[in-house]
């Protein structure tokens, strides 16, 4: 009965077709990686060097430098960095008490972008525009005639604000560096980000803390360009509805809602109707990267402190190159020993181990390339350690199946039958063992920080690869080999000879 079941299973499995589909898939992904310019694995900070920057916290109008505020800033900065992908960056507070500094270390060429991103305080305000003018300092007053009488100033503008407005030169880069201390309860004189316009703005009516969601989206109405879509919470929805309802019928520029980030006007759209839906968009000729970065900054909340950028250092990759060389040697030795053991112990069956490890290595390499391209994955020394450990996990899967297969042959079944019955009994053990590794990897990834997360990510990825290879290459290949006379008849070097299996023949008993 078992023989009939195994024959039916063999007809249904079609191992040659499975291996052919796998080969085509690998070729297809290789071509895709080449077309996507994903031709080199991104190396982490410890292997190729990078940038390290020190941020010194200072108080803002809304908060003082405290140990709790520094810890909160570290948590927010780490979330912002992680939002860019598995970049293996390091964010830590060094020092003691309120004198601590935040040190950010990022690998490779992404250093400048991340440093700019994480250093933003993300103090988002929605303010009504009271007055606006050209960004240079030639404007002498907010009134058309340049009058100084208080009665001629626009509503909400005082003589002090008017004087500050007239003196402000937004064409000077120093006046639009951002991060200025602006209290949400006070009026603000400031510049647009590009310096083309200067404003007098009313006190803030909506704050960044009232934004519940932020995402970068393509501007569908404007034709091209990117913008940031915002969704407000309950109080934010009410505040924005009240603001837009009040200013929609006012003359320009009082009908403009200025969106201010870190003291600079990002956008100042005119409000032509009340907006009660609880959502808004920030537009400003953003690239996709600019919009994504801004959305990530807003998504994880405002930093409780402002920062002065301290020393920026370039980390040398020399030590990393030595570590990479040593790690590759260790991996090559481990792989070589596994292959040697497989060939000596399993003889001809060891060919399956060689082929399976080669396929697993190819899939892992392609995964590193594509993940580096699309989610920013970087390979660190800890990640290399995870990949080396995975060699043992993959070898365990082979051994479980091979030993189960040999046991079936020892019990008198033909090789073709043993391939199926042995697989049915071995796959449960393989699945359980790999799921244990996956659970351990997930726990390490979500509850650890730094290099341990890199180890966990690589270990989990390669464990998935092991499962895929065992099911879609190892088992089909063994099924094909079992049809060859060399293996089916138990040749001396096949791995299924009586000597290899430890079976005592009748002649030897006599």
CA distance 466 to 355: 13
Structure-derived torsion over alpha carbons of residues 43, 44, 46, 47, reported in degrees to the nearest 10: 0
Q: Calculate Rg over the CA atoms of the chain.
A: 32
Say if 307 falls within a structural domain.
no
The predicted structure's pLDDT at residue 247 = 92
Buried b (16+ CB within 10 A) or exposed e, 13-42: bebeebbeebeeeeeebeeebeeeebeeeb
Nearest by Cα to 117 from 322, 291, 332, 366:
291
Same domain, 366 and 468: yes
CA distance 252 to 333: 73
**Phi and psi torsions of 393, nearest 5°:** -65, -45
Any idea what the CATH number is for the domain that residue 425 is in? 1.20.1640.10
For residue 448, is pLDDT > 60? yes
For residue 120, is pLDDT > 90? no
Say if 135 falls within a structural domain.
yes
For residue 41, is pLDDT > 50? yes
CA distance 338 to 232: 57
Query: Of 98, 118, 138, which marks where a domain is finished?
Result: 118
Range of lowest pLDDT (2-16, 390-404, 468-482)? 2-16
The predicted structure's pLDDT at residue 243 = 92
**Percentage of the chain surpassing pLDDT 70?**
79
Say if 309 falls within a structural domain.
no
Same domain, 50 and 30: no
For residue 476, is pLDDT > 80? yes
The predicted structure's pLDDT at residue 460 = 92
Same domain, 270 and 366: no
Q: Is the bond leading into 253 cis (omega within 30 degrees of zero)?
A: yes
Nearest by Cα to 50 from 112, 101, 116:
112
Say if 168 falls within a structural domain.
yes
SS3 92: strand
**0.85 exceeded by pTM:** no
What is the average pLDDT across 172-186?
Answer: 72
Same domain, 181 and 203: yes
> What average pLDDT does the chain have?
79
What is the average pLDDT across 206-222?
Answer: 81
Q: Is the bond leading into 426 cis (omega within 30 degrees of zero)?
A: no
Q: Give the count of alpha carbons within 13 A of 405, CB side only.
A: 25
Distances (CA, A) of 295 to 269, 317, 456: 18, 32, 28
The H or E element that residue 406 is part of is helix 381-410
SS3 255: coil
What is the average pLDDT across 66-87?
Answer: 73
Same domain, 189 and 333: no
Same domain, 450 and 335: yes
Same domain, 171 and 103: no
Cα-to-chain-centroid distance, residue 468: 24
Any idea what the CATH number is for the domain that residue 268 is in? 3.30.1360.200
Question: What is the tally of structural domains in the chain?
Answer: 3
Same domain, 277 and 399: no
The H or E element that residue 285 is part of is strand 279-286
The predicted structure's pLDDT at residue 11 = 45
The predicted structure's pLDDT at residue 507 = 43
Question: Hey, how many other C-beta atoms are within 10 angstroms of the C-beta on 368?
Answer: 21
For residue 98, is pLDDT > 90? no
Range of lowest pLDDT (82-96, 190-204, 222-236, 277-291)? 82-96
- Contact status, residue 456 vs residue 445, Cβ threshold 8 Å: yes
The predicted structure's pLDDT at residue 431 = 92
* DSSP summary character for residue 59: -
CA distance 387 to 378: 13
**Percentage of the chain surpassing pLDDT 90?**
14
For residue 331, is pLDDT > 80? no
> Which residues span the domain enclosing 55?
45-118
Distances (CA, A) of 21 to 14, 35, 86, 210, 441: 11, 21, 30, 51, 29
What is the average pLDDT across 401-406?
Answer: 87
Nearest by Cα to 484 from 426, 427, 419:
419
Same domain, 129 and 230: yes
Distances (CA, A) of 12 to 6, 371, 478, 502: 10, 35, 15, 32
Same domain, 49 and 30: no
CA distance 122 to 185: 17
Same domain, 427 and 491: yes
The predicted structure's pLDDT at residue 83 = 65
């Amino acid at each position: 009965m078992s023989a009939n079941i195994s024959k039916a299973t063999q007809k249904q499995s079609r191992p040659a077709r499975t291996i052919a589909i796998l080969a085509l898939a690998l070729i297809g992904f290789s071509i895709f990686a080449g077309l996507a310019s994903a031709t080199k694995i991104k190396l982490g900070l410890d292997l190729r060097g990078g940038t390290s920057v020190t941020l010194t916290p200072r108080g803002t109008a809304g908060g003082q430098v405290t140990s709790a505020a520094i810890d909160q800033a570290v948590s927010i900065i780490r979330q912002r960095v992680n939002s860019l992908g598995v970049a293996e960056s390091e964010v830590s507070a060094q020092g003691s008490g309120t004198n601590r500094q935040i040190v950010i270390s990022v690998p490779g060429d992404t250093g400048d972008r991340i440093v700019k991103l994480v250093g933003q305080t993300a103090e988002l305000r929605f303010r009504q525009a009271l007055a606006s003018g050209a960004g240079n300092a030639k404007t002498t007053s907010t009134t058309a005639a340049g009058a100084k009488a208080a009665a001629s100033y626009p509503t909400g503008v005082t003589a002090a604000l008017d004087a500050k407005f007239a003196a402000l030169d937004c064409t000077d880069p120093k006046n639009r560096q951002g991060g200025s201390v602006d209290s949400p309860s006070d009026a603000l004189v400031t510049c647009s980000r590009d310096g083309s316009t200067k404003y007098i703005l009313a006190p803030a009516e909506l704050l960044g803390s009232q934004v519940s969601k932020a995402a970068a989206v393509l501007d569908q109405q404007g034709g091209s360009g990117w913008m940031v879509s915002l969704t407000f919470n309950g109080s934010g929805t009410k505040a924005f509805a009240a603001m837009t309802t009040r200013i929609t019928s006012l003359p320009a520029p009082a009908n403009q809602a200025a969106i201010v980030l870190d003291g600079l006007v990002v956008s100042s759209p005119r409000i032509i109707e009340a907006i009660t839906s609880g959502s808004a968009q920030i537009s400003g000729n953003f690239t996709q990267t600019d919009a994504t970065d801004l959305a990530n900054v807003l998504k994880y909340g405002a930093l409780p402190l402002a920062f002065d950028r301290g020393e920026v250092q370039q980390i040398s990759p020399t030590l990393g190159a030595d570590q990479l060389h040593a790690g590759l040697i260790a991996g090559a030795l481990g792989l070589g020993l596994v292959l040697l053991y497989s060939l000596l112990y399993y003889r001809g069956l060891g060919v399956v181990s060689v082929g399976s490890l080669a396929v697993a290595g190819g899939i892992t390499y392609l995964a590193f390339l594509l993940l580096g391209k699309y989610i920013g994955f970087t390979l660190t020394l800890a990640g290399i350690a995870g990949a080396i450990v995975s060699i043992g996990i993959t070898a365990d899967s082979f051994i479980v199946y091979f030993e189960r297969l040999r046991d079936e042959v020892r019990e008198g079944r033909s090789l073709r039958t043993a391939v199926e019955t042995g697989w049915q009994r071995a796959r449960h053990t393989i699945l359980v063992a790999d799921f244990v590794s996956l659970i351990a990897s997930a726990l390490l990834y979500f509850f650890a920080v730094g290099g341990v997360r890199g180890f966990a990510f690589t270990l989990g990825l390669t464990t998935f690869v092991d499962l895929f290879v065992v099911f879609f290459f190892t088992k089909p290949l063994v099924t094909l080999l079992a049809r060859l006379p060399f293996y089916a008849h138990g040749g001396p070097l096949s791995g299924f000879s009586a000597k290899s299996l430890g079976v005592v023949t009748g002649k030897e008993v006599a």
